[in-house]
Structure 1
Amino acid sequence: MIISRNKSTILKGLAILSVFISHYGILSQVAATGVAVFLFLSGYGLEKSTSKNGLDSFWKKRIRSVYIPYWIVTITFTILLALTSNFSLYDYIKYISIINFDSKIDPTMWYVTYLTLCYFIFYIINKHIKNNIPVAYLISPFILLLVTQPSFGSSYGVILYFPYFFFGALFARYSALIKKDIPSKAVFTLVILTILTMYFSITHVYTPTYFMSILLSTITLILLPDKLFNKGFISSKMLKIGNISYELYLIEGVMIMTINGSLMKYIHEGYIRIPIIFISTIILSLILKKIIDSSIINKIKLNIN
């Protein structure tokens, strides 16, 4: 397999870390690659699952894995904000209901709204288009772009991400045709091209070069030999981070808004604030993961089934 379970989990760990360091003002461009990798792996995993199990319990599985964690975080944060902030009821309803195209509360949650649109298109294709699914996957990115570009705020840069979910689904569909690892020379060439395009796009975001740097870096990570992800200290740590990558994403934006905002009055040095935010995010994400895997939530999952 080009993308084993270990490799997928480690890539998610690397992707969420890229988002973290970007939000902290370090190498701000790498977050775009992290988002692209997440979307690619989401499409890949969903296609693999659907090819085995069809669309049985499609939305129930999404509720368990995506929306219940989202609601735990957003409802909790909404309650806390209601005591201290002046957002409108309409803003809170949009935030919780995932109709979050331009959120005033937590802009980072746009990703769940975007992913939900991908899910809807994917579901419709697999439900109603039986004979031309690959063609539908090729067309879908442009449908997604037409829907999302006018809907999301310009700061989200959704134009950068429109192909990756369905490219991931297509890759999953045909990855079995690839019998061996990609030659090392080809991977090395991709790495060099990625570095060059990233360098030349540092000060030119939303340009063809910037888009190309995201595309090349995503392809490079996906095509790296699987053996690189099986052993070593870094791989083991990234595996742990990858296992809670979604929880980290949900918590991270909230922590930046709350801790960063409250500590600004007392701690002006970023090198102190950043570790506090990072450690707090890790701890709360582990707690959220425990809650999601708890017997209480499992009972809810059983009721859904």
Structure 2
Amino acid sequence: MKYFVFFSTILLILYLVEFVKKDNRTFTFMDKDFTTAIKGFSILTVMWAHAGARLGVGGIQFIAGVGVALFLICSGYGLEMSYQRNGLKGFWKKRFLKVCIPFWIVELVGLLITQQFEIKKYLLDAVFISPATGYGWFMQYIVICYILFFSVKMMSEKLRVNEMWILIVAFAVWFIADSCFFADSGMPFLRARQMLSFPLGVMIAKNREKIERYSTRKRTVILVWGGGITGILFMAITQLSVVKALPYFVSNVMALFTVLPLAIAFIAFVGKAKVLLNNKFLLGAGTVSYEIYLVHAFSLNLVKGSLVRVSVFVAVTAVLACVLYLGQKKMMGSRV
């Protein structure tokens, strides 16, 4: 426990130092800085929970699920805003350069360094069929989100139909298929509980101005308390043995009301307390959040019961994530 407390203290100090040094930038609801800071918070919660599991701390892993929900909301939001500006122009090129290539590089190097490399294992991992690590499920998930988003946009452009409803139906079909045919018996809810997160991000992007206009203090309080209570309540309910014994489809429907309401409560809260996001540590972590996710899948092997090993984990993850980010930017010919 003491090593986990040490790790938590490192993150807290980094946040507080940058909070004291905060600049005068102005955040607006779901603008670039706002979503970047949220992604920073989300990846830090994922690292925190996963490192805690490595250090023998139980009961906090659901926090990683909240972090993933936040990240998916921001991803759906970002894709919809990009579509409103540029349509589908360069959609797959960007996904290939920003998502696939970094993933392939990190998986190859990571598997080689950890002596887990097998050509079949790597190829199945690279085409998002069978993850090589316990954290690779997210890559399958986000790629399917991209495919569904792209397909729905193409369909709506040609058929002139309500794309939001098509997107929801597409994710509903995916939820049913995953729950009935592809659920992992160890964690059947892992993907299913996130099925509304990405579509919610798209919906927020489509209704951002309306949400801001109707976002009163009273409604925010209701969202924060309602989301918090709902998430915690269903988190407890889904841990009951009688619920775990239910068919996966039924228990996964309940799981939809666990991490997502907590993520909504968090966004509603910081939407009114934006000063908490005005933090260079969160913004920096958010900028390289995807790279941190990729690297931490392997750097977690450094986490042991030692102050030095925990410190090395933080440093190595940060440095390699930044190197990967800078390399990807250079490859795309963009300014950092």
Is TM (by shorter chain) over 0.5?
Answer: yes
Shift of 1:193: 3.4
Report the equivalent of 2:151. 124
Report the equivalent of 1:255. 299
Report the equivalent of 1:99. 129
Report the equivalent of 1:46. 79
1:1-305 superposed matches below 5 A: 2-25=29-52, 27-81=60-114, 84-85=115-116, 88-100=118-130, 103=131, 105-130=132-157, 131-132=160-161, 133-149=163-179, 150-151=181-182, 153-154=184-185, 155=187, 157-180=190-213, 182-200=215-233, 201-202=235-236, 204-205=238-239, 211-224=256-269, 226=271, 228-229=273-274, 231=275, 235-257=279-301, 259-260=302-303, 269=305, 273-294=309-330, 297-298=331-332
Shift of 1:78: 3.2
Shift of 1:186: 2.6
Report the equivalent of 2:16. none
8 Å CA contact 2:226–2:265 kept in 1: the answer is no
Shift of 1:209: 6.4
8 Å CA contact 2:77–2:201 kept in 1: the answer is yes
The code of the aligned residue for 2:191 comes to: V
8 Å CA contact 1:16–1:245 kept in 2: the answer is yes
8 Å CA contact 1:29–1:202 kept in 2: the answer is no
**1:98 is paired with a residue of what secondary structure?**
coil
The code of the aligned residue for 2:286 comes to: G
Shift of 1:96: 2.2
CA pair 159-281 structure 1, distance change in 2 beyond 3 A: same
The code of the aligned residue for 1:151 comes to: F
Q: What is the rounded CA distance, in whole Å, between the counterparts of 1:169 and 1:198 in structure 2? A: 21
The code of the aligned residue for 1:176 comes to: E
Moved more, 4-13 or 232-241: 232-241
CA pair 35-270 structure 1, distance change in 2 beyond 3 A: farther
Name structure 1 gaps, 5 residues minimum: none
TM-score (norm 2): 0.75
| Cα offsets for 1:44-99 (capped at 9, x unmatched) | 11111112211111100111221121122112223334xx34x5432121122222
8 Å CA contact 1:194–1:213 kept in 2: the answer is no
Task: Provide the aligned length of Structure 1 versus Structure 2.
Answer: 283
Shift of 1:178: 3.0
| Cα offsets for 1:123-147 (capped at 9, x unmatched) | 1111122322122122122122134
Instruction: Report the aligned-residue RMSD.
Output: 2.6
8 Å CA contact 2:102–2:328 kept in 1: the answer is yes
Name structure 2 gaps, 5 residues minimum: 1-27, 245-250
8 Å CA contact 1:181–1:225 kept in 2: the answer is no
**1:250 is paired with a residue of what secondary structure?**
helix
Q: What is the rounded CA distance, in whole Å, between the counterparts of 1:232 and 1:215 in structure 2? A: 21
Shift of 1:165: 0.9
Shift of 1:151: 3.2
Q: What is the rounded CA distance, in whole Å, between the counterparts of 1:256 and 1:291 in structure 2? A: 22
> How high is the sequence identity, in percent, across the aligned residues?
24
8 Å CA contact 1:99–1:113 kept in 2: the answer is yes
Q: What is the rounded CA distance, in whole Å, between the counterparts of 2:107 and 2:123 in structure 1? A: 10
The code of the aligned residue for 1:187 comes to: T
